[in-house]
Amino acid sequence: MRIRYDRDACQGHNRCYLLAPELFDVDDDGYAVLRVEGEVPEELRGKAQLAVDNCPEYAIGLDGD
Amino acid sequence: MADAGSDMADEGATGPPGPSGCPVTDWSTDFDHTDPQYAARAPEIWDELRSSCPVARSERFGGVWLPTRHADVASIAHDTDHFSSRGVIVSVFEPGPGPVGYAPPITSDPPFHETARRLLLPAFSPKAIRPLEPTTTALCRELLDDLVERAGEGGVADAAIEYAQEIPVRVIAHMLGVPASDGDRFRTFIHRIMETGGQNDAVDPADTLSAYLLDIIEQHRGSVTPRGDLIDFLLDARIDGEALDEDHIVGTVALLLIAGIDTTWSAIGAALWHLAHHPEHRARLLAEPDLLLMAIEEFLRAYAPVTMARKVAREIELGGRTLEPGDWVLLPFPAANRDPRAFDAADEVILDRAKNRHAAFGLGIHRCLGSNLARMELTVAVREWLLRVPDFELADPSAVRWSAGQVRGPRTLPVRLRTITGPSSEEAA
Ligand code: HEM
Ligand code: SF4
């Protein structure tokens, strides 16, 4: 499972950062920054899904399984 | 549990008719968001319209549309070509032309919008807001000390007036670096703005918010040590290498006051209103404090206080209707948040709702600039209340009054303090 992040769609709601700080950071302007490159570690898959399901702008998605 | 809808229906109010001069009898052809019925039972009205007339029109205010489906609200918020922000509060007056507007960035359209917004983003990022949490905690505790002392265990306090209302005012005063000793004066300005919609008539020009802020700006300029507050931040800010002029600084501060106060007040009040009549939710939050992170977002979804507006810039079809240039369009984010097509069990409050793409802070380029600040204030306010007053109930449900118009929240909220605990001894977190 990999995280797909669309910087153009992101409006800095910061829901991902609050729910899954292991996977998302924020820059100085409040936009999301991915913390993992490549495969999401097994134990963080639930959090990745939570971030996806709470992003109001549909700016994050998951690829693969 | 369908609580908000049915509970609010019990609070039906009668009062003066809306701006067309007559009370609303048919919400699908003649709605008026300033009508007292809307204040009392808006969620029910949205539900009815969503299924019977999802893009409703009223001839009031010179022609205004009310979309109630999440998909329509989202498409408007994302479409800055057809919908302009030059008017964000529906009124009988015609707003000025774009793209800057009278209160950038909220009234600005692209491309200027981004310039005005970028300038402010760093001051409101989650990491910039976090250091304000201990101060906010301390001031909530102070308000609770006073409130608990006045009412006493078993007594009645107004959670909207004595608590929720005071929090954003005090936080913003602190952020601006306004001296604590000026607190009362500062609150007078703010209440004047809130109560008269920004029109300060018949006041001494030396005793206005602008005059006061110009004075504060001068003091900041004269001070050798930077204070790191919002005024310092604005004095240091540059657009294309140029410092902001004083009007811009005063205007920005005024926008932050107007956008940040009754909105946050409403959100805190609505969360406490919910908890006052949901003992099972109080118990759960006390037992599982970590749940607050998700519960706060759920309160924001279910009781989103802010409806924005747009002016149609170019003709467009929506839900089979034709919207003409110059028409007003209300953007009821609260109605979008209760659309069953977008949320499972949309009318239920589910504290740990796992899929919650709520739009309480808007969608698209105007996403609430103060969302991290508001979220922090709401979290601290609810947490501290529950710690000090773990058991409380509506003292008189029929005395609860919700505001009408585009910012909706309880303005009177008498609650009985059934159990109070001693002041928290731990250091502010
Ligand atoms: C719970 C409290 C709040 C809610 C529900 C809320 C809601 C909103 C919404 C829905 C918008 C979008 C406007 C649009 O699409 O036209 C917005 C914009 C804005 N809000 Fe908030 N707000 C809250 C608190 C605050 C606070 C505390 C501040 C600052 C001190 C603030 C400052 C702003 C500003 C400056 C904008 C304009 C952003 C732009 O146009 O780029 N808000 N707010
Ligand atoms: S939740 Fe979505 S919009 Fe918000 S910061 Fe994360 S990716 Fe961006």
pLDDT digits (tens, 9 = 90+) for B17-55: 445 557 788 899 999 999 988 988 999 999 999 999 999
Per-residue pLDDT at B18: 46
**Gap between the Cα atoms of A35 and A47, Å rounded:** 13
Q: Does B353 touch chain A (CB under 8 A)?
A: no
Per-residue pLDDT at B287: 97
- Reference B87, options B54, B62, B50, B70; nearest CA is B62
**pLDDT bracket for residue B14 (50, 70, 90):** very low
pLDDT at B228 over 70: yes
> ipTM > 0.90?
yes
Other Cβ atoms closer than 10 A to B146 = 14
**Gap between the Cα atoms of B346 and B402, Å rounded:** 21
3-state DSSP call for residue B255? helix
Per-residue pLDDT at B9: 35
Per-residue pLDDT at B426: 52
**Gap between the Cα atoms of B335 and B68, Å rounded:** 5
Q: Which two tokens stand for residue A35?
A: 């913390």
Please name the residue that has the structure tokens 């009412």: B151
Residues B113-169 pLDDT 10s: 999 899 999 999 999 999 999 999 999 999 999 999 999 999 999 999 999 999 999
**pLDDT bracket for residue B311 (50, 70, 90):** very high
**pLDDT bracket for residue B195 (50, 70, 90):** low
Per-residue pLDDT at B216: 87
- Maximum separation of any 2 CA atoms in chain A, in Å: 32
**pLDDT bracket for residue B205 (50, 70, 90):** confident
Structural domain count of chain A: 1
Report the atom number in ligand 2 closest to the C-alpha of A30.
5
Ligand 1 mean position, distance from CA B256 (Å): 9
Task: Read off φ and ψ for residue B32, nearest 5 degrees.
Answer: -150, 110
The lowest-confidence range among A21-30, B26-35, B224-233 is B224-233
Average pLDDT of chain B to the nearest whole number? 88
Yes or no, beta carbons of A30 and B126 under 8 Å apart: yes
Task: Read off φ and ψ for residue A2, nearest 5 degrees.
Answer: -125, 150
Handedness of CA B70, B354, A6, B306 (dihedral sign): positive
DSSP-H helix ranges across B237-278: 246-276
- Reference B307, options B125, B58, B50, B34; nearest CA is B34
pLDDT at A55 over 70: yes
Report the atom number in ligand 1 closest to the C-alpha of B255.
35
CATH number of B36-419: 1.10.630.10
The shares of helix, strand and coil residues in chain A, as percent rounded to the nearest 5, are 30, 25, 50
Per-residue pLDDT at B201: 54
Ligand 1 mean position, distance from CA B263 (Å): 8
pLDDT at B58 over 50: yes
Q: Is the CB of B258 under 6 A from ligand 1?
A: no
Q: What average pLDDT does this structure show over B60-87?
A: 96
- pTM passes above 0.90: yes
Would you kindly state where each structural domain of chain B is located, as residue ranges?
36-419
CB contact at 8 A, B39 and B404: yes
Report the atom number in ligand 1 closest to the C-alpha of B375.
1
Ligand 2 mean position, distance from CA B100 (Å): 26
Please name the residue that has the structure tokens 């504290």: B351
Residue A53, min C-alpha distance to chain B (Å): 5
Yes or no, beta carbons of B125 and A58 under 8 Å apart: no
**Gap between the Cα atoms of B367 and B408, Å rounded:** 18
Name, of B78-92, B191-205, B246-260, the range with top average pLDDT: B78-92
Yes or no, beta carbons of B126 and A18 under 8 Å apart: yes
Partners of B392 in the β-ladder: B417
**Gap between the Cα atoms of B25 and B226, Å rounded:** 58
Q: Is the CB of B40 under 6 A from ligand 1?
A: no
Residues of chain B above pLDDT 90, percent = 63
Per-residue pLDDT at B5: 38
CATH (domain of A21): 3.30.70.20
Other Cβ atoms closer than 10 A to B296 = 23
**pLDDT bracket for residue B194 (50, 70, 90):** low
Give me the half-sphere count of Cα atoms (radius 13 Å) on the Cβ side of residue B104: 23
Per-residue pLDDT at B334: 98
The lowest-confidence range among B65-69, B220-224, B405-409 is B220-224
Q: Is the CB of A20 under 6 A from ligand 2?
A: no
Yes or no, beta carbons of B125 and A53 under 8 Å apart: no
pLDDT at B11 over 60: no
Residues 6+ apart with CB under 8 A from B284: B291, B351
Per-residue pLDDT at B428: 44
**Gap between the Cα atoms of B368 and B311, Å rounded:** 19
Count Cβ–Cβ pairs < 8 Å, chain A vs chain B. Answer: 55
Per-residue pLDDT at B424: 65
Angle formed by the axes of helices B246-276 and B209-222, nearest 10°: 110
Q: Does A62 touch chain B (CB under 8 A)?
A: no
Yes or no, beta carbons of A12 and B367 under 8 Å apart: yes
Rg (CA), chain B: 21
Yes or no, beta carbons of A13 and B122 under 8 Å apart: no
Q: Does A9 touch chain B (CB under 8 A)?
A: no
CB contact at 8 A, B402 and B411: yes
pLDDT at B12 over 60: no
Nearest-5° Cα angle at B170, B162 to B196 = 75
Per-residue pLDDT at B203: 67
CB contact at 8 A, B390 and B286: yes
- Reference B194, options B231, B165, B157, B159; nearest CA is B165
Residues B356-395 pLDDT 10s: 999 999 999 999 999 999 999 999 999 999 999 999 999 9
**Gap between the Cα atoms of A52 and A3, Å rounded:** 9
Ligand 1 mean position, distance from CA B223 (Å): 31
Task: Read off φ and ψ for residue B407, nearest 5 degrees.
Answer: -120, 115
Yes or no, beta carbons of A11 and B365 under 8 Å apart: yes
Residues of chain B above pLDDT 70, percent = 90
**pLDDT bracket for residue B257 (50, 70, 90):** confident
Residue/partner pairs of B180-187 with CB below 8 Å, 24 or more apart: B185/B212, B186/B212
Instruction: Residue A8: give the domain boundaries.
Output: 2-63
- In DSSP notation, B288-319 reads -GGGHHHHHHHHHHHT--BEEEEEE-S-EEET
Torsion, Cα B16 B20 B24 B29, to 10 degrees, reads -170
Q: Which two tokens stand for residue B107?
A: 């009234």
Residues B89-119 pLDDT 10s: 888 777 877 667 777 899 899 998 999 899 9
CB contact at 8 A, B377 and B264: yes
Q: Does B124 touch chain A (CB under 8 A)?
A: yes
CB contacts, 8 Å: A57 with chain B: 363-364
Per-residue pLDDT at B98: 66
Considering only CB atoms, B357 lies closest to which of A12, A29, A54, namely: A54
CB contact at 8 A, B367 and A11: yes
Considering only CB atoms, B367 lies closest to which of A13, A19, A27, namely: A13
**Gap between the Cα atoms of B52 and B72, Å rounded:** 15
